[in-house]
Chain A
Amino acid sequence: KAGVTQTPRYLIKTRGQQVTLSCSPISGHRSVSWYQQTPGQGLQFLFEYFSETQRNKGNFPGRFSGRQFSNSRSEMNVSTLELGDSALYLCASSPLGTRNTEAFFGQGTRLTVV
């Protein structure tokens, strides 16, 4: 069974630009969540999608958005990039996203904003 796939693996963008990151969950998994990891703030939850609906949202500005497609693939978008958005962005999938199931993480997308 293929794992969680995130593309691209690395990305360099300029301040003010926007970026779209993609996540393909494990086949059959309906819950996809996104996290930002930085040395200063650690791993922080961005949002979670389940059956194309945003079910939970973390404490991030509106520049961070996401969506999920009918095949459970998900994208997240960051508009008007700032230097502080440089981070490892991780996607995780699970069958239903319930408390007693594990989340499977992808390798992440390393975003550098210059």
Chain B
Amino acid sequence: LAKTTQPISMDSYEGQEVNITCSHNNIATNDYITWYQQFPSQGPRFIIQGYKTKVTNEVASLFIPADRKSSTLSLPRVSLSDTAVYYCLVVGNAGNMLTFGGGTRLMVKP
């Protein structure tokens, strides 16, 4: 399973764009890159998933360069309610056997 590395924590202010980068040097050809968000004492919530290039949905964008060894989650105009832990995962053949790393603790300040 590809290991992921992401910053332990990040601070931002309301209204700013936040970019969280994750490295996954050993990603396999069939792996997908997935991001989850978790609030305290709740289960993680799926944010976005991609295989290559750029994916955008109503809450975030995911940028994946051609070599797929890293990815960047972009959260536009964050609010206080975006304060959470964000996990980058590489999902392989065993799709529902998710391997979580330490995540990035995002703190959004007023």
Q: Do A and B truly interact?
A: yes
Cβ of A90 to closest chain B Cβ, rounded Å: 5
Give residues in A with beta carbon < 8 Å to B. 4, 31, 33, 35, 42-45, 48, 50, 55-56, 58, 88, 90-92, 94, 96-108, 110
Q: Which of B15-67 contact A (CB under 8 A)?
A: 30-32, 34, 41-46, 49, 51
Complex: A33 Cα to B43 Cα, angstroms: 12
Count of interface residues, chain B, beta-carbon cutoff 8 Å: 26
- The dominant DSSP class at the A interface is strand
Complex: A90 Cα to B100 Cα, angstroms: 13
State whether the Cβ of B101 lies closer than 8 Å to any Cβ in chain A: yes
Task: Please tell me if the beta carbons of A48 and B97 are within 8 angstroms of each other in the complex.
Answer: yes
With contacts defined as CB atoms under 8 Å apart, how many contacts are there between chain A and chain B in the complex?
78
Q: Which residues of A contact B108 (CB under 8 A)?
A: none
A-B CB contact pairs (8 Å), 25 listed = A31-B96, A33-B97, A35-B98, A35-B100, A42-B100, A42-B102, A43-B98, A43-B100, A45-B97, A48-B94, A48-B97, A56-B94, A97-B94, A98-B95, A98-B96, A99-B32, A99-B91, A99-B92, A99-B93, A99-B94, A101-B95, A102-B49, A105-B44, A106-B43, A108-B41
- The dominant DSSP class at the B interface is loop
Which of A35, A44, A48, A103 has the most C-beta atoms of chain B within 10 angstroms of its own C-beta? Answer: A103
